[in-house]
Structure 1
Amino acid sequence: MSIQTVKTDLVKNTTHKVVIPFYIYAALSFFVATILLFCSANSFTQHYFQPRTLAITHTMALGWGTMIILGASHQLVPVLIEARLHSTWLAFLSFILAGIGIPALLISFFAFHFGWVAVTGALLINGAVLLFLINMALSIWKSPNKNVHALFILTAAFWLLITTIIGLLLVCNFSHPFLPSASLHYLSLHAHIGILGWFLLLVMGVGSRLIPMFLISKFHNNKYLWSMYGLTNGALLAFILLFILQSVSIWYLMPVSFLFIALILFGRFCYLAFKQRIRKNVDEQMKISLLSITMMAVPIIFLAILIGFVLRSGNQGYKEILAYGFSIFFGWITAIIFGMTFKTLPFIVWNKIYHDKGGLGKTPNPKDLFSAKVFKTMSLTYLAGFILFLVGILIINSILLQSATVLLVITSVLYNWNVMKMLLHKPLIT
């Protein structure tokens, strides 16, 4: 596969008008999340269940991670199934509903008031996810070329809908209790369906396609992919069953072991794709994407520690829970978004500007649309900020936490600057 083929594959189906708004929204959400983090660093020395940590977590989960994945999926799924997106209007409507619903919900979390604004926000988000799921399902159904990567994305979208439905029920339960237990009891169920079913399953499905594509690798192994799919869904179903049965903590080691094996297989898949690559030089974007794969082990380590805490003392370590959540949303999810943003968005923008100008002169490469120096600086401030903040949580050091948030704010500014540089690019033909 040539570089030009990769470019064509990534941009040939869905209009940029559908995809780019999601990227912009996500970039601004990341900036907002880091500002909230800067203003709320001391909250991470306290219990995890409080307004500011809830607001930051959902800004990262919905505004940052989910929105950029929704946008990228509208571009990627047609490539995977070699067919057009079923409906651009459903995609637009999904963006509008989520774009309105997310801030309504986040404001409610920050104010810790779960009235009609929170319920309306949650309903709009559910509507956006439902439209996305329908759009993906119909696109795949109509295509004669169905594959396991598309199944990963479709299944992940289903789990996302389950996550948002549970979230809606929890929001309603805060102000008008109707569930058997308080909303706090169900938070781990809500969170892990989203983390494992939506984020992890989708990252595995998309990563196992994009990483070999951008490395221009010959490696492919369907057995690995089906095993990863089965183990990840099996781990999630086992967790849900154990939660419903209120099983003792030691049984939770079973889904954790399934998950650990799935991650090993995913790491092995990516390693073999790297070893069998045709392109020997690996750019900075791919390096940070590959780094994000190793960072997936960090939350698993904290999860095992948490289970150990419960088994030993019957109590949960709030520091470890905060570190667990932070390592997921500011760790591997953010790292893989960084890498994939600057691998996919340049092609989308390049196609938007230069697609109809072929043969009129020499055009710039997609990688020239953003600043490599800014990307490298962003990567360094991100890694430093992430590590310092994680250490700050574990040793409960406010000075370290506040210093780390400065680095993460700088990271978000640099990310937004580079994204806007691409989007505001003017045609250059020589």
Structure 2
Amino acid sequence: MIAKTTPQTIVLPFYGYAAVSLCVAMSLLCLSVQAFTGHYFHPHILAVTHSMALGWGTMMILGASYQLMPVITESDLFSETLAYVSFFAAAAGIPLLVYAFYVFDMGIPAQAGAILINVSVACYVINQVGSYTRSRHQNMHGLFMVAAACWLLLTTLVGLLLVFNFSNNVLSKDSLYYLSLHAHMGIAGWFLLMIVGVGTRLIPMFLLSKYESAHLLKIIYWFINASLIAFVILFLGQAPPDWYFVPITGLLTAILQFGYYCRRAYQERIRKTTDTPVKLSLLSIVMTFLPVLLLLSLLAAPGVSSGKLALFKAYGFVIFFGWITTLILGMTFKTLPFIIWNKRRYDAVVSDKKQGPGNLYSHKWFAAMALVYMTGFSVFLTGIFTEQISFLQTGSVLLLIASLLFNLNVAKLFMHQPVHT
């Protein structure tokens, strides 16, 4: 059986939803700058974080992985119906949860949102596992994606318990205590595993590099999973803080190996010129080290102080607004143009070379977006450490402008019409 491309009606809604969610998250950020001068467990910060983690990062990755899993495994998607259900459940659940956090109402809205998100993720996991297990080409990239999906489900299940714990005391301690467990299962288990698995496939492909190493991928895979399992065991066992250096060292080792993999792919590339989206994606790989360094600083910092609270906020900001977002901003304009072009080329005979995937979006808009975004990111991060409202306000406005430029370019792609002959 020849693998077929996932229908656009499955993939594009995820991309569109994620793009709009990015604008929503940046708008919430502009309205919440004052919250970033206080404690990190603030309703508005929680709303912004979940809007970025779920509405932006997760929805974009879900859409991309529905497209990529059949390509990577050379097999059809397990169930198109489950894919549609996963979209609609998440699309309904995420706004409910974000709204609940913003007004800090952990009643019906939060609980309904959390349940819908878990329904969505469960459908996604079944689809990923089903697609992988019945495929003809089970490789490490697909295994990374399956493992990441399973960690995502564990993350959302813990999140569901935390939501109900606010009003029903279903856990032995308060929800703030379990926040670290919930967050790091998602960051390392979902985002890191998925980014490594997909990145080690796409980056060499976009660079036209022949480099690949299944052995190195296995090492990275087991280092990440072993480190994450060790972290969960240490957390549940209430181990002393010093013990956490063990899983952090394991994650740092995996990230170093991931960086080495991408460096080898870059060195052995056939295409010597690198376009801006790939450059931004490569920058995100360098930024992968920043959260680890901040985490080590947090463990080394004694007691609770304003400086340590700033490190907590910077840690989350660098992860969601730096590492994850810079990668997605770059990869979107390497994957989405091809998805649209690949479908439209069957609908028309293209008579113009300018109709190729790389010419379906505005490179000037992309370059402007990248510049404005990285400037806004740097200014806002400075504001977190200095607690200067002027820096936070300026940075948030720049990030909002960048998100609008991103949406304009995505809209341009969505509205593209091929030239008929």
TM-score by length of 2: 0.97
Alpha-carbon displacement from aligned partner over 1:179-216 (angstroms, at most 9, x marks no partner): 11101000000000000000001000000000011111
Match of 1:93 in 2: 85
Rounded to whole Å, the distance in 2 between the matches of 1:362 and 1:162 is: 46
Mapped partners of 1:12, 1:390: distance in 2: 44
CA contact (8 A) 1:114 1:175 kept: yes
Match of 1:200 among 192, 199, 203: 192
SS at match of 2:346: helix
1:240-255 equivalence runs, <5 A: 240-255=232-247
In structure 2, distance between residues paired with 1:338 and 1:77: 20
Aligned 8 A contact 1:13 1:83 in 2: no
The one-letter code sitting in structure 2 at the alignment partner of 1:211 is I
Q: Report which stretch shifted further, 216-225 or 412-421.
A: 216-225
Query: What is the alpha-carbon distance in structure 1 between the residues aligned to residue 399 and residue 87 of structure 2?
Result: 26
4+ residue stretches of structure 1 with deviation over 6 A?
none
Q: For 2:112, which of 97, 120, 124 is the aligned residue? A: 120
2:404 alignment partner in structure 1: 413
Instruction: Report the number of matched residues.
Output: 419
Show CA shifts across 1:248-285 (max 9, x none): 11111111100111000000000000000111111001
Matches within 5 A, 1:281-430: 281-309=273-301, 312-313=302-303, 317-358=308-349, 364-429=355-420
TM-score, normalised on structure 1?
0.95
Whether contact under 8 Å (1:152, 1:229) holds in the other structure is yes
Shift of 1:102: 0.5
State percent identity of aligned pairs. 49
Distance (whole Å) between structure 1 residues aligned to residue 207 and residue 261 of structure 2: 13
User: In structure 2, the residue corresponding to 1:189 is in which secondary structure?
Assistant: helix
> 1:76 — aligned with what?
68
Find out whether 1:257 has 2:282 as its counterpart: no
Deviation at 1:363, TM superposition (A): 6.0
Take 1:12 and 1:378, find their aligned partners in 2: how far apart are those partners? 34
Distance 1:131 1:42, change over 3 A: same
Measure the CA separation in 1 of the matches of 2:247 and 2:77: 35
Deviation at residue 429 of structure 1 after TM alignment: 4.2
Which blocks of at least 5 consecutive residues in structure 1 are unaligned? Answer: 1-8
User: Does structure 1 residue 190 correspond to structure 2 residue 197?
Assistant: no
CA distance in 2, matches of 1:252, 1:16: 43
Q: Which residue identity lines up with residue 50 of structure 2 in the other structure?
A: H
Check whether the contact 1:349–1:422 (CA below 8 A) recurs between aligned residues. Answer: yes
What does residue 235 of structure 1 align with? Answer: 227
Residue 106 (structure 1) aligns with: 98
Residues in 1 aligned to 2:285 and 2:354: alpha-carbon distance in whole angstroms:
33
After TM superposition, give the deviation of residue 362 of structure 1 in Å: 5.2
Report deviation, 1:357.
2.3
Q: What is the deviation of 1:71?
A: 0.3
Give the letter for the 1:116 counterpart: I
Change (3 A) 1:84 1:44: same
Between the aligned partners of 2:403 and 2:420, the Cα distance in structure 1 is 31
DSSP-derived class of the 2:105 partner:
coil
Q: Which runs of 5+ in 2 are unaligned?
A: none
What letter matches 1:337 in structure 2? I
| 1:61 aligned residue | 53
String of CA shifts for 1:44-78, please: whole Å, max 9, x gaps.
Answer: 11000011000000000000000000000000000
Match of 2:125 in 1: 133
**Using the alignment, how far apart are the partners of 2:216 and 2:381 within structure 1?**
32
1:52 aligns to what SS in structure 2?
helix
The equivalent position to 1:35 in structure 2, one of 3, 20, 27, is: 27
Q: Is contact 2:141-2:201 (8 Å) kept?
A: yes
Q: What is the CA–CA distance in structure 2 between the aligned matches of 1:116 and 1:129, rounded to whole Å?
A: 20
The C-alpha deviation readout for 1:376-419, integer Å capped at 9, x for no partner, is 00000011011111111011111111010110000000000000
